[in-house]
Structure formats: structure tokens, C-alpha cells
């Protein structure tokens, strides 16, 4: 056997041994994490604190979501995130007195804002979402 072939066989054996130990540990870690997740008792939902915002899903159409956020059909997730932050700060229920009608309306508005965000993000073109964060010179 020539020396190049011998070196190749040694390297292949070394790499295969390393690969087996890496993949074996990843699989065992994944199995352990899965077992731990299954064995953990299910958490019971706690009662919300007084005055806390309770999220409930509200049905919002795509057009209503775009109108609420003031974004176009071609809006990116960054534009949606900026509009969400502005709306969230404006309609924050904790800014209003506890038990007031204004707080109830702000809570309803926040529910619409959160639901609209989900609708908008779900309808972004996957290609745009995948490549919008890239900076190409």
C-alpha cells in the first residue's frame, strides 16, 4: 500500500470516529431532552395578576391588519415590527386606570394589534423573510 493511500485511510478512520461520537452525542442529548419534556408535569395556567394584559386571539383579516398597522402589501418583518412597537406603546393597557372603560378598550385594541401582527407575519413572502436580513455589497 502506498503512503498516500495509507494516510487517506487513517484520516478517514479518524474522521468517521469523530463523526460517530458527535452524532451519537447529539442523538442522545435529543432523546434525553425529549424524555425530560414528556416526563415533566403539565403546568397549570396561573391566574393573571390584577391589571395584567390577558392575550386572547381576535380574528383579523389581512386587509384589516394592514390598515391597522399602516403597512403596504410588500411590508417586511422589520417594518411590521416597528409598526407593532409603536402601536403597542400607544395602546398599552397599563397606562390607564385599573377597571376603567379606557383600560378595557385598550385591552381590546391590544388583542387586535397582537392578532394583526400574527396575520401580517404569516403572510410575508417566505423568500423575502429569508433574505431580508442579508446585507450584500
Q: Which 8-state DSSP code applies to residue 98?
A: T
Q: Is residue 49 part of a domain?
A: no
CA–CA distance, 74 with 125 (Å, rounded to integer): 9
Q: Please give the tally of structural domains in the chain.
A: 2
Q: Is residue 33 part of a domain?
A: yes
Q: Is residue 66 part of a domain?
A: yes
Domain coverage including residue 27: 1-40
Instruction: Kindly report, residue by residue over 65-82, the tens digit of the pLDDT.
Output: 999 999 998 888 889 999
Same domain, 31 and 68: no
Mean pLDDT by 10 residues, the chain (137 residues): 82 75 62 73 48 62 91 89 92 89 91 91 80 68
Same domain, 73 and 118: yes
Same domain, 72 and 115: yes
Same domain, 78 and 34: no
Per-residue buried b or exposed e for 71-100, using 16+ beta carbons within 10 Å of the residue's own CB? beeebebebbeebbeebeeebebeebeeee
What pLDDT, on a 0 to 100 scale, did the predictor assign at position 43?
Answer: 52
Q: Which 8-state DSSP code applies to residue 43?
A: P
What pLDDT, on a 0 to 100 scale, did the predictor assign at position 20?
Answer: 63
CATH code at position 114? 1.10.287
CA–CA distance, 68 with 62 (Å, rounded to integer): 10
State the Cα angle at 72 between 67 and 77, rounded to 5°: 100
Contacts of 51 (CB under 8 A, 6+ apart): 93, 94, 98, 103
Distances (CA, A) of 123 to 10, 12, 46, 71, 126: 52, 47, 32, 13, 8
Amino acid at each position: 500500500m502506498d503512503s498516500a493511500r495509507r494516510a487517506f485511510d487513517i484520516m478517514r478512520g479518524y474522521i468517521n470516529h469523530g463523526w460517530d461520537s458527535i452524532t451519537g452525542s447529539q442523538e442522545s442529548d435529543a432523546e434525553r431532552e425529549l424524555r425530560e419534556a414528556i416526563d415533566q408535569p403539565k403546568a397549570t395556567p396561573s391566574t393573571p395578576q390584577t391589571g395584567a394584559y390577558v392575550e386572547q386571539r381576535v380574528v383579523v383579516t389581512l386587509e384589516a391588519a394592514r390598515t391597522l398597522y399602516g403597512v403596504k402589501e410588500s411590508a417586511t418583518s422589520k417594518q411590521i415590527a416597528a409598526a407593532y412597537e409603536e402601536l403597542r406603546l400607544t395602546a398599552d393597557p397599563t397606562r390607564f386606570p385599573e377597571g376603567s372603560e379606557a383600560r378595557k378598550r385598550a385591552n381590546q385594541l391590544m388583542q387586535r394589534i397582537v392578532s394583526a401582527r400574527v396575520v401580517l407575519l404569516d403572510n410575508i413572502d417566505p423568500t423575502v423573510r429569508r433574505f431580508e436580513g442579508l446585507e450584500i455589497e
